[in-house]
Structure 1
Amino acid sequence: MQERTGSELQQIEAFAAVAEHGGFAAAARALGRDGSVVSRRIDALEARLGVRLLSRTTRRVTLTEVGATYLQRVRTILGELSAADTEAAEAAAAPQGLLRLALPAAFAQRWIAPWLADFLAAYPKLQLELSHSDRFVDLVADGFDAAVRIGELADSGLVARRLAGFETMLCAAPSYLARCGAPQRPDELRQHACLGMPKARFWPDWKLIKGRQRSVQRIDAAIVSDEGEGLLAACVQGAGILPAPEWLIGRELADGRLVRVLPQWRADYDGAIHVVLPPGRLVPAKTRAFVDRLAQEFEPAPPWLRAPHAPAR
């Protein structure tokens, strides 16, 4: 690869300025240089390339065919250099200002809210505005800097970073199993009190897998709710059997308030958790700080898979 010197970059910048502003005088003003300097740089560029990039007359300056093609390429390069400069300056700047985040309510309460005080203590010039909703917001239209999304990602053009995957499994309180017994086969679930979320993919049919085996059970739920935390609370109190993602029931499984039901089976739905950003190459320092801290909380494993009170790496 041919090495580019500083003077050669100045030649390219001069050429792009002349093409953009339509003349040497206007380009010189935009660059803060004398017109003769701009002219010499263009001459040196054309001599180095061995081709005419600009057609000059006493009245106007136009691009040659080769010059027009060359301009398209160098505009991309100059744009990348400008973005790199801005990104480097952002990295040196302390995160500050308002950071607007869209977060799933139950997930944020369990796995984000506990460390927000420490996060703000590290960045005292930062303010947070949190929107807790399980709907997928439009980051660009609604003006959010980042969002956490659970489940499948649509091909939306957003920038996404995967944080973790999770299984969905059946669980119940020990008190319920002591009272009603534990099902031994998926078809026995129809004889039990079950808890369901109508918005979930596994409703009203619970699709279960064990290796290559598949079982589909149509459930007549004792409680139906669109709010996961409420169903979880009812499940802990012994109301019935609940299919739930690991991130929602991890603490309760760890401390024994819940146990797995049909532990060899799991719901036929493996999800993932992502943090998503609006499209664009430049990530502001405030957003990058949040994403980095969020990712740290999931290393070396998601918090619900670590021992209770084990810190992030």
Structure 2
Amino acid sequence: MNQSFELTPNRLRELRGFAIAARLLNFSRAAHEAGCTPSVLSRRIAALEEAVGGKLFLRTTRRVTLTPRGEQLLAHCERLDAVMLAMAAELRPQGGEPAGRLCVHLPGAYGRLCVAPVLARFLAGHPQIRIEAVYDDAYVDLVAGRIDLALRVGRLADSQLVARQVGSMRRYLCAAPSYLAAAPALHDPAELKAHRCVAFSGLRTGTLWQFSQGRRRRSVRIDPVLSCNDSMATREALLAGVGIGIQGDYMADPLVAAGQLARVLPEWELSTSPIQLVWLPGADRAPALRALIDFLSSEL
């Protein structure tokens, strides 16, 4: 190693990516395990090769092998992993009970209705863990916000994060029976322009509502009478008969079953979004965070 080699956070990320790739000898699989794209992994390994002053892999169209320099670095990585695991075991509280403070970022309505009860059960079983739960529909950068774990609904834009899907959410149109009784008939999404609509501004497509029916597609740009940045406020407006809006199944299903809301255009489908836990690469090595991730994955 050259004299400028330092174990900075970026260097540790590069070493982790290298070690995974060295064990798998498959860059696509290694990138998936490292929580990044193959191109990002290649850049990290290139930076590491520059730092150590030599090639770490020999790559052909058919196979990937380690160079002698790569084998030497892998041995160092394995010793480093052993030291980190030993340190984690030594610093763990007596009895093996995970401990520590975690900051968790959750979407407002889904977090309050579906995740808060799960967090309560988790804390009851882990008395030495402390959680700061932030309920907010806005996107947050995990590094800048010092967030240990976030739950996100929809496709992920940040390929640097590790993600685990824990569910999915259907969306559909609904309205109060009182509104529908006095409103014009509705047979096609295009006819929504003749209706009063309530919009949730956090929807990825905004006021462009997109529908599908088999191979048929409809996109309607609505002009909402009310736009809310809080999905629970949107729900309350629909219950009050303000108009037609989009709701997630976790909020709307009980209200539809109780007759408080009615589905609108049920033959036309809206998008289904994945619900995913996300965290920074390597953060789940902390026993407290690992315990929370596993618990939420099983309960949600």
Q: TM-score, normalised by structure 2?
A: 0.69
Change in 2 beyond 3 A, CA 1:204/1:117: closer
- CA-CA distance at 1:256 after TM superposition: 2.9
Query: Which residue among 219, 222, 226 is the counterpart of 1:219?
Result: 222
- Residue identity over aligned pairs, in percent, reads 33
Change in 2 beyond 3 A, CA 1:74/1:184: same
How many residues in Structure 1 have an aligned counterpart in Structure 2? 234
Query: Which residue among 250, 255, 264 is the counterpart of 1:252?
Result: 255
Query: Which residue among 114, 117, 131 is the counterpart of 1:111?
Result: 114
For the pair 1:291 / 2:293, whether they are aligned, the reply is yes
Residue 134 of structure 1 aligns with which residue?
137
- CA-CA distance at 1:85 after TM superposition: 4.4
Per-residue deviation, residues 8-34 of structure 1 (Å, max 9, x unmatched): xxxxxxxx9xxx9xxxxxxxxxxxxxx
Per-residue deviation, residues 173-204 of structure 1 (Å, max 9, x unmatched): 22222332651222222222111133423332
Per-residue deviation, residues 101-146 of structure 1 (Å, max 9, x unmatched): 1111111111011233322221112211112222222222322211
For the pair 1:186 / 2:215, whether they are aligned, the reply is no
Residue 63 of structure 1 aligns with which residue?
none
- Map 1:1-313 onto structure 2 (within 5 A): 70-85=71-86, 93-180=96-183, 182-267=185-270, 269-280=271-282, 282-298=284-300
Change in 2 beyond 3 A, CA 1:87/1:246: farther
Instruction: Tell which structure's C-alpha radius of gyration is larger.
Output: 1
Per-residue deviation, residues 139-175 of structure 1 (Å, max 9, x unmatched): 2232221111111112431111101122221111222
Segment of structure 1 superposing worse, 244-253 or 147-156: 244-253
2:202 and 2:119 mapped to 1: Cα distance?
A: 29
Give the AA of the match of 1:185: D
Give the AA of the match of 2:279: L
Give the AA of the match of 1:79: L
1:281 and 1:113 mapped to 2: Cα distance?
A: 22
Question: Which segments of structure 1 move beyond 3 Å, counting only runs of 4 or more?
Answer: 66-70, 80-92
Please say if residues 176 and 240 of structure 2, whose CA atoms lie closer than 8 Å, have aligned partners that are also in contact: yes
- CA-CA distance at 1:80 after TM superposition: 3.5
- CA-CA distance at 1:254 after TM superposition: 3.5
Please say if residues 166 and 246 of structure 1, whose CA atoms lie closer than 8 Å, have aligned partners that are also in contact: yes
Give the AA of the match of 2:276: H
- CA-CA distance at 1:261 after TM superposition: 0.5
- 3-state SS of paired residue (1:266): coil
Change in 2 beyond 3 A, CA 1:183/1:230: same
Segment of structure 1 superposing worse, 242-251 or 147-156: 242-251
Change in 2 beyond 3 A, CA 1:254/1:119: farther
Uncovered stretches (5+) of structure 1, i.e. residues with no partner: 1-15, 21-65, 299-313
Segment of structure 1 superposing worse, 144-153 or 73-82: 73-82
Please say if residues 87 and 282 of structure 1, whose CA atoms lie closer than 8 Å, have aligned partners that are also in contact: no
Change in 2 beyond 3 A, CA 1:67/1:156: closer
Uncovered stretches (5+) of structure 2, i.e. residues with no partner: 6-66
Change in 2 beyond 3 A, CA 1:253/1:213: same
Q: TM-score, normalised by structure 1?
A: 0.67
2:281 and 2:236 mapped to 1: Cα distance?
A: 38
Please say if residues 99 and 145 of structure 1, whose CA atoms lie closer than 8 Å, have aligned partners that are also in contact: yes
